[in-house]
């Protein structure tokens, strides 16, 4: 590290629109009303997991959605945490493996969520 420069290893979502296309039901639960959130709010994969956790705790969601979140959210949060931990430890290859796991868990959630 330099005196002024900082080197960081990070994960970002390249195309937020792809998140909405890939997991539309999960997106609708995690980001329930786009009209009420500022356009500057990031709506990427990592933020989707946080939004889902927020909705599980505080959201006005159906019992069926809550049941699915209760079942699937721990694995999602674990995968997200592992990505962050690997990046903090400068292990990008391992973090990449966990991003695949995170996306797989989102696929599982999407499959299990009820259709609107």
Per residue in 46-93, pLDDT (tens digit) is 999 999 999 999 999 999 999 999 999 999 999 999 999 999 999 999
Question: Has residue 40 been placed in a domain?
Answer: yes
Question: Has residue 11 been placed in a domain?
Answer: no
Question: Has residue 96 been placed in a domain?
Answer: yes
Task: Provide the percentage of residues in the chain whose pLDDT is more than 70.
Answer: 94
* pLDDT band, residue 7 (cuts 50/70/90): confident
- pLDDT at site 1: 61
Question: Has residue 7 been placed in a domain?
Answer: no
Q: What is the mean pLDDT of the chain?
A: 93
Question: Has residue 4 been placed in a domain?
Answer: no
Task: Provide the percentage of residues in the chain whose pLDDT is more than 90.
Answer: 81
pTM of the entire predicted model: 0.90
Q: Structural domain of residue 58, as residue ranges? A: 16-112
Question: Has residue 62 been placed in a domain?
Answer: yes
Total domains in the fold of the chain? 1
Pair 46, 11: CB distance under 8 Å = yes
- pLDDT at site 78: 98
Question: Has residue 30 been placed in a domain?
Answer: yes
């Amino acid at each position: 590290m330099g005196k002024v420069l900082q080197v960081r290893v990070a994960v970002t979502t390249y195309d937020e629109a792809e998140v909405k296309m890939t997991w539309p039901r999960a997106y609708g639960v995690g980001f329930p009303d786009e009209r009420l959130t500022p356009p500057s709010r990031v709506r990427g994969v990592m933020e989707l997991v946080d939004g889902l956790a927020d909705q599980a705790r505080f959201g006005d969601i159906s019992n069926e959605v809550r049941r699915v979140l209760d079942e699937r959210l721990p694995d999602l949060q674990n995968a997200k945490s592992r990505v962050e931990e690997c990046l903090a430890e400068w292990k990008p290859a391992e973090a990449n493996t966990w991003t695949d796991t995170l996306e797989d868990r989102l696929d599982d959630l999407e499959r299990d969520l009820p259709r609107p």
